[in-house]
Chain A
Amino acid sequence: MSTPNGTVREITYGEAVREAIVEEMRRDPTVFMIGEDIGAAGNVFKILTGLQAEFGADRVIDSPISESGIAGIGVGAAMTGMRPIVEIMFGDFTTFVMDQMTNQAAKTHYMSGGKLRVPMVLRTTMGAGRASAAQHSQSLHAWLSHVPGMKVALPATPRDAKGLLKSAIRDDNPVAIFEDKMMYSVTGPVEEEEFLIPLGQAEIKRPGRDITIVATSSMVQETLTAAERLAGIGLEAEVVDPRTMVPLDTDTLVESAKRTSRAMVVDEGCERYGVTGELASVIADGAFYYLDAPVRRLGAMNVPVPFAPSLEEQTIPNADGIFETARALCSAA
């Protein structure tokens, strides 16, 4: 994992998101935020406390419960010189903004022959694990990743959350960021000094020679835990976090797989037609002649997320499953 340079503090993922927004809003007066309960309440995960107090209600706008409407506001404001950050409280509600993102934001630059731009950020959440049931637990990042014109980021650490968000705000394209709501309170090292993390640059979160495990968002931590246990049985896993689905750092993924000759992909979206399928095929294409076994993938079960914790825990990949799958893959011929 890359070590931050300069003065390093431990801050939470939520604080990192907040810092990115505050720094960019101070730097650029065209940046503003709109979302539900983001004003006095400081958003439902309490990560934006004080934002409205600093920037005022004109730049931190509490909206009605109108996801489609605020996404439209984002698109129109972005086309006309602003840099909106639209917050959609639960990723499950991105269903409401799909038209604005898919048919407007993502296509406007292309359809206008390069004349119009939509520099907006859509911040939303993903991830199960809170017994929040089927409409508050989904990981729908594959949907927007499918649409040409969209960029999509999945930060896995506080440092990534800050650096990727700052780049997204400065990007001239619509960028969707999916933050795992279980990670808001997770801490990690983040430097005091300003930094950006470019969109489209994977990071090797742990080097290893025996197997490449590509993981996204909260699955990175699960995979690192599994990697520790694999080390215990003599297998060194390389954990690669693509950090952005689009643009995708194909080279880093493929080069790692070539080195280790075995690869698997872990992501919290449903396995079917999802991110794991795409990443596995990118690796299979690029590293085919170097691989000793087919690329394996682990996604969420293809079921709505059930409420009962005893059922819910079965549906998402965890360190145990990653460990077992990796071990089996390493013993395959």
Chain B
Amino acid sequence: MSVMTSSQDVEHWLYLYEQMYRIRCFEEVSDNLYTRGLIPGITHLYIGEEAVAVGVCSVLRDDDWITSTHRGHGHCLAKGADVGRMFAELMGRATGYCGGKGGSMHIADQDTGNLGANGIVGGSTAIVAGAGLSAKLRGTDEVAVAFFGDGALGQGQLYESMNMAALWKLPVLYVCENNHYGEYTPNDQTIAGEILDRARAFGIPSREVDGQDIREVSRVAGEAVAAARRGDGPSFLQCTTYRYRGHHVGDVDRPYRTQAEEEEWQATRDPLRNLAAWLETEFDVGSEVVEQLEAEVRTAVDDSAAKALEEPIPEASEVTTHVYA
């Protein structure tokens, strides 16, 4: 969602804090609903990674595009999706973003420039080049951003996409959310060489960013998006981050990583806590201000979830609509 305030202002950062907190609440409530059997299927939570989506989307305009992943709730919300319609979709209700046909892994909303979450690892990386080419062919200065996990680095389509985007100077930003794991496998077992070198091989400017620091994410993403808008072609960001929860909501034991590691990330690198601390030193924002804001967001998210539970399920006849346009 485009942000009109300037990064010099406290309102700007409070607004981004609010967005990150909304995502966290949304995910916590989703987790709870899922556990109570009120959300069917599988759901992948974004908790811990909020600064990446919010930081990147804070430098995008409403008419810019994003492509997303199986862990897409944060991207959708950061680009401007409505909490209530998101919940309704997760619950398979008629009023959800996809009329209940997509669910958690497929939320799409072209009104906010969201070309869809994606159940195919790497899917977002290929589509983004097409959106970038289209922006160029249509004579606009729109930018297309792909979010993808470190796991997608294994997929060949990423490299085909980067090659073409670089060749044709497409207005594309590749945002790799490196949370160190693909499902249950640590990525030092699946990634050879340096991640950034892969993009550099195509001549794509590439940066590693602390994905837990929203100020850094938004600053670096801002530069990359400005370059793309100017016609300078694609960039690649490797955002180092961490998912606090399991790969999906059912992954609760997590034998593939240590509890100490989980605790350390949460204790020292939490994107919300760190932004709040900075707001206090920089702008004298007291904890009561943050708590007030949090309480309002939480109430609103809880209300939206409760309302979504009352929404109708789709008409049976919907099963055959939308197969063709």
Contact = CB atoms under 8 A, between A and B. Distances in A.
Are both chains from one complex? yes
B277 to A, nearest CB: 36
B252 to A, nearest CB: 13
Contacts, number: 120
A311 interface: yes
Nearest to A40: B256
A65 B106 contact: no
B255 to A, nearest CB: 8
B313 A301 contact: no
Interface stretch (B24-32, B97-105, B201-209): B97-105
A40 B255 CA distance: 9
Contacts of B183: 36-37, 41, 44
Contacts of B119: 92, 133-136
B106 to A, nearest CB: 6
Interface in B31-48: 40-42
Contacts of A136: 42, 105, 119
B184 A308 contact: no
Contacts of A56: none
Contacts of B185: 36-37, 39-41, 62
Nearest to B313: A310
A93 B157 CA distance: 14
Given A36-B183, A40-B185, A131-B92, 12 more contacts: A64-B190, A65-B190, A66-B154, A68-B156, A131-B103, A133-B105, A136-B105, A302-B323, A307-B41, A307-B106, A309-B40, A310-B100
Interface of A: 36-37, 39-41, 44, 62-66, 68-69, 92-93, 130-136, 301-304, 306-311, 314-315
Rank and list the top 6 A-B pairs by shortest CB-CB distance, nearest first: A307-B103, A64-B154, A308-B92, A135-B119, A131-B41, A308-B100
23 contacts: A36-B182, A37-B183, A37-B184, A40-B185, A44-B184, A64-B190, A65-B151, A65-B190, A66-B156, A68-B156, A69-B156, A131-B103, A133-B105, A136-B119, A303-B320, A306-B319, A307-B102, A307-B103, A308-B40, A308-B100, A310-B316, A311-B101, A311-B314
